[in-house]
Structure 1
Amino acid sequence: MFQRDEFQTVAVPMKAARAAIAVLMVSVLAALPALAQTPGATPSATTPGSPPPDTAPAIRPGQATLSLSAQFSGNRKPVRSGLVWRVLSESADGSPPKIIARSSNAEPSFPLDPGVYLLHAAYGFASATKRVTLGAQGLTDRLSISAGGLSLAGSIGETPIAPNLLNFSVFVPLQGNSEGRLVASNVKSGELIRLPEGTYHVVSTYGDSNAIQRSDVRVESGQVTQATLHHRAAQVTLKLVAGPGGEAFAGTAFSVLTPGGDVIREAIGAFPQVILAEGDYVLIARQEGQVFSRDFKVEAGRDRDIEVIAR
């Protein structure tokens, strides 16, 4: 499990990506110990339900031992978990290499016949590849991976947004297109994503309507970047009532529109809840063939009831 208390927090300025209201607060943690203990890493022996560690087969006569490890390219600290190793053999006829061994240990050892092998180490979405020659005396080698971690969160002002209400998508920007290539979708708040070093475009969706913020984030090799995207939105409860403060009519069909008439959200019920970005809206309520409406305003962080009077 990713242990946040093993880091020293260092404040890092971050430039907001397109929207002037999208403010990004980023802290980069000196993450080498914790990056080695992130979700998806090999569980410790004390973790309930931990799988047994990989066991290397016994070495046979004529074989040699290939011992591997990996380091972060930025600071050359060892990668202690989260790795998936593959050893591939190359055939003489030019056919694609074949996987002959694999391991999820941080520092695996493989008993192999002497020869030329292709090594591949995967660390989340990052990886490194190297060709090595194994002699009769054995070989110890280390691969360098240019990768870091990204952990995302959201807030309204200084108030954190509940993780179950947030969803993130991470893109690799391309020239002229910030959302050039999707890297990860449906990322949850607090989830750690292992990524190659570089700049990424993050899209944060609060709720399921139009409360969306965007920003660019830089991931450094050997570090975990924690980024909080600040939303300007609120949760409103829609009601159709006979009078102010009255009981809500069941089975009411609601439509939330922009002042220009674009539909933002539709819902049915006595008091459905909707998360909306800060701004002006028109609410239409339909009940038993009758249509009622009112204008309303959403202010960031101000959750409230929006009543439509049935008259």
Structure 2
Amino acid sequence: MVRRSWVMAIGLLAALLAPQIAASQEAPEPRPRAEHDAAQAKASGEPQDQAPTPEAPANEPSAMVEPGEVPGVAADTPATDAIRAVTQAPQPVHLSARVTEKGNTIPEGLVWRIFETKTDNNGQLAMVAKSDDSEATLSLPPGQYVIHVAYGRAQASDTITVNPGNNDKTMVLDAGALRLNSAITGDVAIPLNLEHFDIFSGGTSDADRILVAQNVAANDTVTLNAGTYHVVSYFGDVNAIVRADLRVEPGQLTEATLYHRASQISLKLVSEAGGEAIADVDWTVKSADGKTVFQEIGAFPATVLQEGDYTVLAKRGDTVYNRAFQVVPGQPREIEVLTSVY
């Protein structure tokens, strides 16, 4: 009796809970799309909720990069390091020069200068290397450079591109040489200490010419680029000057003697012909046009004068003595000024 009552109670409880269990087992109603919710909220005047920001999938890479890395560029590897070392490391460069295209290499006397191709803030090319070796061996990083080589007064410039590996460059100077001498008309020798030369580039006037070599001694050999040069010969330091245009040929020595129509003179003030020179005399020599060409104080001054007519003034104290004289080409000559004549 008791058992039967318990079973009947269980059945009655199941009957009462059956509708709720059935409702809980039905499929849930799908949620409307976001745009539908937004439309409903707008229609009802309710505030809209912002859609949540989706999180990045766990397996996607972060947009952040480490310092020094470039997105999309592969990181350095031993191979790229090796390539960089080869393309940036200094490379051997061998330089040599010839006087002419078919001549032998110059054995000595060269000066090499290597410059960058871009100018600095001062508009100058920066020098990166220099060598006094005739066959220079340098080490330069790959790139382009300007080479300048000087051989005496001859010089040449060119560019070179340094590549990985051995680099060789031979410069052709196209040069010759000039040797100068001078003499007095009649082949009278001039003392070496009284003659010198200036060498200018060719031109029709002094304004067109550039000084190439100055104070060149007689019999010196000057190396020059082939071409025509304007040579000025000085005998003394007053007015004995001779000019000439000379041609220098490549690979050849040009020798020239320039002749002066002038003479050395010495001056002395004496009380009688052939007498002793009087000291403390102020000397002035004027040319025929009245121009002063020489001045000196002393007992026995000497100078060199171009052929022509001159007047010498010898001042001692408040007294001035003078004499007219003529210079002709030839041997040195002594000019006496007599005090007894006045």
Q: When the two structures are superposed, what TM-score results if normalisation uses the length of structure 2? A: 0.66
The one-letter amino acid paired with 2:320 is: V
- In structure 1, the residue corresponding to 2:193 is in which secondary structure? helix
CA distance in 1, matches of 2:119, 2:313: 72
Does residue 71 (structure 1) correspond to residue 98 (structure 2)? The answer is yes
The one-letter amino acid paired with 1:124 is: G
**What do the CA deviations read for 1:83-112 (whole angstroms, capped 9, x no partner)?**
111233446999965332221111111233
**What do the CA deviations read for 1:3-31 (whole angstroms, capped 9, x no partner)?**
xxxxxxxxxxxxxxxxxxxxxxxxxxxxx
Does residue 297 (structure 1) correspond to residue 295 (structure 2)? The answer is no
Does residue 146 (structure 1) correspond to residue 150 (structure 2)? The answer is no
Structure 1 pair 179–272 and aligned structure 2 pair: CA distance change class (3 A): farther
Counterpart contact for 1:233–1:300, Cα < 8 Å: yes
Corresponding residue for 1:198? 227
Q: Between Structure 1 and Structure 2, which shows a larger proportion of helix residues?
A: 2
CA distance in 2, matches of 1:308, 1:92: 65
Offset of 1:135 from its aligned partner?
Answer: 3.1
- In structure 1, the residue corresponding to 2:315 is in which secondary structure? strand
Offset of 1:306 from its aligned partner?
Answer: 0.7
Structure 1 pair 148–295 and aligned structure 2 pair: CA distance change class (3 A): same
Structure 1 pair 244–75 and aligned structure 2 pair: CA distance change class (3 A): farther
Matches within 5 A, 1:95-244: 97-156=125-184, 157-177=186-206, 180-244=209-273
Offset of 1:308 from its aligned partner?
Answer: 1.1
CA distance in 1, matches of 2:280, 2:208: 39
The one-letter amino acid paired with 1:202 is: V
Structure 1 pair 179–154 and aligned structure 2 pair: CA distance change class (3 A): farther
Superposition RMSD in Å: 2.7
Counterpart contact for 1:163–1:190, Cα < 8 Å: no
Corresponding residue for 2:33? none
Q: When the two structures are superposed, what TM-score results if normalisation uses the length of structure 1? A: 0.72
Offset of 1:302 from its aligned partner?
Answer: 2.4
CA distance in 2, matches of 1:290, 1:166: 35
Structure 1 pair 75–178 and aligned structure 2 pair: CA distance change class (3 A): farther
Matches within 5 A, 1:44-83: 63-73=90-100, 75-83=102-110
- Bigger Rg, structure 1 or 2: 2
Counterpart contact for 2:153–2:223, Cα < 8 Å: yes
Counterpart contact for 1:90–1:96, Cα < 8 Å: no
Does residue 259 (structure 1) correspond to residue 288 (structure 2)? The answer is yes
- In structure 2, the residue corresponding to 1:164 is in which secondary structure? helix
Identity %: 39
Counterpart contact for 1:279–1:298, Cα < 8 Å: yes
Counterpart contact for 2:228–2:246, Cα < 8 Å: yes
**What do the CA deviations read for 1:182-230 (whole angstroms, capped 9, x no partner)?**
2222222233333221111111111121111111111222223222211
Unaligned runs of 5+ in 2: 1-84
Unaligned runs of 5+ in 1: 1-59
- In structure 1, the residue corresponding to 2:219 is in which secondary structure? coil
Extract structure 1 runs of 4+ deviating beyond 6 A. Answer: 91-96
The one-letter amino acid paired with 1:154 is: S
Structure 1 pair 237–90 and aligned structure 2 pair: CA distance change class (3 A): closer
Offset of 1:63 from its aligned partner?
Answer: 4.7
Corresponding residue for 2:112? 85
Counterpart contact for 2:101–2:172, Cα < 8 Å: no
